[in-house]
Structure 1
Amino acid sequence: MKNLGKIVLFLLLAQLSATASVKATVDATSIEVGEMVTYSLHLSGVDVDRPTILSLCGTDVISTSSQTSIEMINGDITRKNILSYKFMPQKSCVIEPIEVTIDSKVEKSNSVEIKVGEIVANKDADFILTLETPTKEVYVGEPFEVTLLFKQKSDAEAVDSKFIPPELKGFWIKGESQPQRSQDGKYSVSKVIYTMAAQRVGKLDISKAQIRIASRAHVRDSWGSWIPKIKWRTYYSNELNIDVKALPGGVDLVGNFSINATADKSEINPSEALNITIEVLGNGNLEDIKSFKPYIDGVNIFDEKIVVNGNKLTQKMAFVAESDFVVAPFVLKYFDPITKEIKTVSTNEISIKVKNAKPKEELTIKREEVEPKEVVQTVNFSISNLWIAIIFIVGLASGVLIMLLKPWTILKKEKNISIKDPKTLLIKLFPYRNDEEVQIIIDILEKNIYSDAKIEIDKKLLKEIIKKYNLL
């Protein structure tokens, strides 16, 4: 009986092997761009080596599935495997025969042709996706708006959806609005506005946006029966073409701006910080504006990082000095795309008075006119004159050096200044910032003063530094 079972099994496998075959089909041979196609391989045999298929018609396979069945008709037993591959062809193509190893033998499928047509504009479609912009010509860095509209019929069902944004090579996204929803007749409309700017000169394209919609449909399965199924379809928007022009020479900004600078006071004490806030308002490439930090002789200036919020740019700076000083106007130069002119805006000059400041002394050197005298040709007299000349030059140079360095100001103690004041302490420590321990204290002070941090300073370390550099 055991041998009989083996014989029956052998005959069964032999019969299955004799019917080994592979056939390729698609569920649609003519489609529009964006429609999904299911490519199926119908395999008959016992030992099937499933092929690995990653792409079809030059596009990636989105999903795969398989089915297996065994049928007996008039005593003939048939085992079938159906391998299905879903993909979205972008152009007409022919899927060449696929080789499949069945029962140790290589079988080839038939070729399948698919025709892909362009999307036919249908104003009455269930789903419509469009891109709009009021301008086709901009300058590099000039902001402009692109509106994305998605329309859906009120009675159209969507089980699921996936939005694929357009490629924006060569553009910055400066902002994106919240979705706005409205009703337009029988359509529900969703609108999103993007604020963009071009990065380079030339003709730049905004590619088609895509949205994949899953809806319910009834289709025939691999066995010919009608079954409910989720069907995906991709809807495409139009493309946009933007002509980007170069800015005039010497200008990096484009738009329309105004600038203002305000100081928190007009009179300060020596070593006290003066705070100035600069604000730039306008529509343009604010992110390209560089720091306004100026150079003023004898004044220490600390600038914070520029902050851009919408159409407003802000920068704060602190000025510390021992004598009166003037902050020159802050200037902004830009190109106005409407008037096609280069414009300049600036702030007012800011004069700051420092209390009890000593006026700067001008160094003047007066030379006495010496009447020419008769030179006596003696060795002793010549040597004496040489030493006198050397002593005079050394004395004159020492006097000039003393007047320039003013060493008495180093020895002089500052009055009415508390070392406990963070800003005063920062100024006193600044000359010794090359010391690593001093730099640690300076970093903490700057964060506490200019970033509203509340970091505690190591008092023991601070006392050692104060003692080390005799800051009191």
Structure 2
Amino acid sequence: MKNLGKIIIFLTFFISALNASVVASVDSSTITRGEMVTLSLKLEGEDIETPNIQTVCGEDVISTNSQTSIEMINGNFRKNYVLSYKFLPQKSCVIEPIAVNIGGKTEYTKKISINVETQKVTKDSPFILTLESSKDEVFVGESFEVTLLFKQKNNATAVDSEFVPPNLQGFWIKNESKPERFKDAEYTTTKVVYTMAAQREGMLKISEAKMKIALRSHITDSWGSWVPQIKWKTYFSNDLEIKVKKLPAGIELVGDFTIDAKVDKTSINPNEAVNLSIELVGLGNLEDIKTLKPSIDGVSIFDEKVEVNSNKLTQKIAFVSDKDFTIPPITLRYFDPQTKEIKTISTKEFKIDVKGVENKSEALNIKRQEVPDNETATSTSENLPFLWAVLIFISGILVGIVIMLFKPSINKDTNNGFDIKDEKKLLIKLLPYEDDKEVKELMNKLEANIYSAKKEPVDKKALKELIKRLGIS
């Protein structure tokens, strides 16, 4: 009896081993590029180790599913497992044999060939995606437009959709229009326009865009029942190649521009700011312009950050001086791709009058009145009382200066003879020390407080210590 039991157990394991199997299949072995394929593994046997499959045909598995069924054959029950893996092959490939451990034994599937055909677009296609470029050849930085069109046949229905934009590496995206939709007798079309510029020379490629469409479909399950499902299909656009040429030597701007500038005043008090507003308009690589700040001897100049909005660049610059000065023309050189010429544009110059400034040239030309020799002695004697008055006046001034030097400061906000609340005067006095890190931080705060709506708090205690350290008077 003991031997009979052993025999029965042995036969049970032997029969189970005989029934162990793994079969691989696909829902379609020939597809059009963009269609999804489902790989199914049907496993039979006991103690099955589920395989860990992350990629199929070199493509990532998009989703997985599993089913369990029980069959009765000749009065015996048998459990089956079906594992499903969805993937999107981009080219023809072969699914190599897959190893599965069943009951301690390794079973292998047979290899499966997948044939991927090129997606053909016809006038009757339910969905059409295209890319169009306004130019095939451009210069570095030159603006051009790429138009994306997605057409959906009026009688085509989609459960869901997902757009994958083209790879635009090597290009600046200057602007992206809002989607524009219009309808004709056959299609509903969505249009998006990208304004772009190439970053470097060479043959640059704009890869295809993708539109993933979810469609209603159905499958037959293990019991032969009809089961509705959602099936995704990807539609591809064409790709584009753009030849990019380098600019002439010494030129960084390309396009067609106009420039204008204006000041808020032409007559100021000493150390009062004059604000210059610059506006540069045109299609081109405006984003390459960092600043339009000029250089003027004896004038402190503070420039705000350049702002670029679509095809317009603006910048504000403040000028501070205690004497008359001239704001020179702001000049730009650029390459016009239409005429193939290097062009120059300029603003006009602005002469700024600073009130209360003495005209030294006239003072130097004052002539001394000639006095006859016979009147010299008389004049000298008559001027003696006047000279005494002048000496007394100068002495009074010197005494006053001495008193002021030893007199303690009355206003706690006043340091070394000037009011630290006067941010404009303080900024002027700090200019010679702008290489000092602490001074530079303080100057940035003062500039923001004086020339913009932004207000930065200034630590008065730290300010007094800084002025003392620098010996500013």
Report how many aligned residue pairs link the two structures.
415
For residues 6 and 452 of structure 1, the distance between their equivalents in structure 2, rounded to whole angstroms, comes to: 95
Q: Deviations over 1:438-462 (max 9, x none)?
A: 5554332222223311334344555
Cα distance in structure 2, aligned partners of 1:96 and 1:360: 95
TM-superposition CA deviations, 1:138-157 (whole Å, max 9, x none) = 11111111111111122322
Deviation per residue, 1:206-253 (Å, 9 max, x gap)? 111001111111222344432111000000011112111121222111
Partner of 1:78: 78
Aligned to 2:280: 280
With over 3 angstroms needed to count, the CA separation of the structure-2 counterparts of 1:437 and 1:135, relative to structure 1, is: closer
Q: Identity of counterpart residues, as a percentage?
A: 58
Q: Distance in 1 between matches of 2:155 and 2:9?
A: 57
The answer to whether the 8 A contact 2:25-2:41 is kept is yes
Matches within 5 A, 1:41-440: 41-358=41-358, 420-433=421-434, 439=440
Structure-2 change in CA distance of 1:459 and 1:231 (3 Å): same
Q: Post-superposition shift, 1:427?
A: 1.9
Distance 1:360 1:78 in 2: 113
In the TM superposition, residue 349 of structure 1 has moved relative to its aligned partner by: 1.5
Structure 1 stretch displaced more, 263-272 or 417-426? 417-426
**Distance across 1 between alignment mates of 2:268 and 2:135:** 51
**Structure-1 separation of matches of 2:114 and 2:250:** 56
Q: Residue type of the partner of 2:451?
A: Y
Matched-pair contact (CA < 8 Å) for 2:302–2:447: no
Partner of 1:448: helix, strand, or coil? Answer: helix
Q: 1:211 is paired with a residue of what secondary structure?
A: strand
Q: Which moved more, 1:112-121 or 1:456-465?
A: 456-465
Which moves more between the two structures, 456-465 or 424-433?
Answer: 456-465
CA separation of 1:153 and 1:250: change in aligned 2, threshold 3 A: same
Q: Give me the whole-angstrom Cα distance separating, in 1, the residues matched to 2:344 and 2:435.
A: 40
* Equivalent position of 1:457 in the other structure: 458
SS in 2 for 1:445: helix
Q: Matched residues in 1 for 2:243 and 2:96: separation?
A: 42
What amino acid does structure 2 have at the position aligned with 1:230? I
SS in 2 for 1:442: helix
Change beyond 3 A, Cα 1:463–1:57: closer
Give secondary structure in 1 for the equivalent of 2:78: strand
Stretches of structure 1 lacking an aligned partner (at least 5 in a row):
364-416
Alignment match, 1:381: none
In structure 2, the CA distance between the partners of 1:13 and 1:80, relative to structure 1 (3 Å rule), is farther
Local SS of the residue matching 2:53: coil
Name the SS of the counterpart of 2:16 in structure 1: helix
Q: TM-score, normalised by structure 2?
A: 0.81
Q: Say whether the 8 Å CA contact 2:121–2:128 is kept in structure 1.
A: no
2:446 matched to 1:445? yes
Evaluate the alpha carbon distance shift between residue 164 and residue 346 of structure 1 in structure 2; reply closer, same or farther with a 3 A threshold.
same
Q: Which stretch of the first structure deviates more once superposed, 29-38 or 50-59?
A: 50-59
> 2:392 maps to what in 1?
none
CA distance in 1: counterparts of 2:264 and 2:6, whole angstroms: 101
Structure 1 pair 360/247, CA: closer, same or farther in 2 (3 Å)? farther
Shift, 1:17, TM fit: 3.4
Secondary structure of the 2:456 match is: coil
C-alpha distance 229-337 of structure 1, shift in aligned 2 (>3 A): same
Superposition deviation, residue 16 in structure 1: 3.3
Counterpart amino acid of 2:339?
A: T
Q: 1:341 to 1:452 in 2, by over 3 A?
A: same
Q: Please tell me the root mean square deviation across aligned C-alpha atoms, in Å.
A: 2.6
From the superposition, tell whether residues 29 and 162 of structure 1 become closer, same or farther in structure 2 (CA, over 3 Å). Answer: same
Secondary structure at 2:214 match in 1: strand
